[in-house]
Amino acid sequence: MYKLIAIVGPTGSGKTKLAVFLAKKFNAVIISADSRQVYRGLDIGTNKEGVLGQWKNNPVRIIDSIPQLLIDVANPGERFTLNDWLTQARNWLKQINEMGQLPIIVGGTGLYATALLEGYQPGGGRFAKNNQEVDFESLILMPDVERQVLNQRSDERCVRIFDALVAETETLLVSGISGDWLDKIGLDYRYAVYHIRGQLSREEAIEQFQAASRAYIRRQLTWWRHHGEPILVSSIKQAELRAEKFLD
């Protein structure tokens, strides 16, 4: 049985920064657990970090020399399901383990991370828990950041990125991506589409975008209160010590 670390929690909590630090420390590869970062061209609205690159002949995002897998693996408008993600994530876990490296799962889509960590069986669009599928031991870490701080960071981000987000959304629409699909993707792109269509002014779009983002943070926190047993860490050093103990 091999080991993996999962870094979970809400948007803006510093998951990726922590994952990159631990990846450098423990010779790890990051696997993204984000249902929207899988799509190419959805960069600003999904908080993609790093630069495009290749690792083992596969597209990755390189963040400070660390490869991050399962980003930019599907075209916008393409159907990409939990089943697709689970299948690819499990394949990568096997390969990373065989290479003698540590997998680190990081992302804000709680359903994806939980399905992997708890051994849900993919197939047929329905998922049944099957712990026999879990052949790893996991450590689940969550950065401990106050809700007020998360909300403030989120509000500031909504204002900071909005104009660039609208430009990215316009590019997607011109390329033939359906506005209805972008609306369904939700959050950032929904309010950019509404603004482009003239349904909301810039100020109205940002205000609703901020409210929706705060609500999403609340749902992310609620998810982890009911799934798994994440260990709250208040600093990178604390996370490092937890990881060292787990991997010893």
Give a yes or no: residue 173 inside a domain: yes
> Which residues neighbour 153 within 8 Å (Cβ) at sequence distance 6 or greater?
12
Give a yes or no: residue 210 inside a domain: yes
Residue 131 shares a structural domain with residue 212: no
Helix (H) or strand (E) holding 184, with range, is helix 179-185
pLDDT confidence of residue 57:
87
Give CA separation, 225 vs 104, 116, 240, in Å.
21, 17, 23
pLDDT confidence of residue 128:
55
Computed over every residue of the chain, the mean pLDDT equals 93
Domain that holds residue 240: 2-145+228-247
Give a yes or no: residue 188 inside a domain: yes
Q: What is the pLDDT of residues 92-130, one digit of tens each?
A: 999 999 999 999 999 999 999 999 998 887 665 555 555
Residue 161 shares a structural domain with residue 129: no
The pLDDT-based confidence of 25 (bands split at 50, 70, 90) is very high
Q: What is the pLDDT of residues 174-210, one digit of tens each?
A: 999 999 999 998 889 999 999 999 999 999 999 999 9
H helices within 100-146, ranges in order? 110-117
Distance CA 205, CA 219 (A): 21
Residue 195 shares a structural domain with residue 140: no
Give a yes or no: residue 34 inside a domain: yes
Residue 213 shares a structural domain with residue 180: yes
The pLDDT-based confidence of 229 (bands split at 50, 70, 90) is confident
> What values do phi and psi take at 142, rounded to 5?
-135, 120
pLDDT confidence of residue 122:
64
Q: How far apart are the first and last CA of the chain?
A: 14
> Is 117 in contact with 6 (CB distance < 8 Å)?
yes
Residue 141 shares a structural domain with residue 151: no
pTM, whole model, 2 decimals? 0.92
From the centroid of its chain, how far is CA 185? 14
Q: What is the pLDDT of residues 128-171, one digit of tens each?
A: 555 556 889 999 999 999 999 999 999 999 999 999 999 999 99
Helix (H) or strand (E) holding 207, with range, is helix 202-226
Give a yes or no: residue 223 inside a domain: no
The pLDDT-based confidence of 65 (bands split at 50, 70, 90) is very high
pLDDT confidence of residue 135:
87
How many domains does the chain fold into?
A: 2
